[in-house]
Amino acid sequence: MRADKFRYKVVSFVERDELDFLDNIAKDIYFTTGKKIARSEIIKEIIRICEHAGSLKEEIIKDIKHEE
């Protein structure tokens, strides 16, 4: 790790189905590659992918308003 980069710990509470979603991804990766991957690595990859999604912010706002 480079000296100018910091890592931050994030704690999140998720629903059971959301946890199952991450576990299913991890299981698929394991059966495909033989490598185990942590949920945190999956979340980091999801964030990396979403950084390139142009309308992500608008979709989140729409979902939040829909839940209210």
Q: Model confidence over 20-42: pLDDT tens digits?
A: 999 999 999 999 999 999 999 99
Given this model, what pLDDT does residue 33 score? 93
Higher pLDDT, 55 or 40: 40
Q: How far is the C-alpha of 43 from the C-alpha of 41, rounded, in Å?
A: 5
Query: What is the biggest distance separating any 2 CA atoms in the chain, rounded to whole angstroms?
Result: 43
pLDDT at 58 over 90: no
Number of Cβ within a 10 Å radius of residue 42 = 16
pLDDT band at residue 2 using 50, 70 and 90 as cut-offs: low
- Dihedral sign for Cα atoms in the order 23, 29, 31, 33: negative
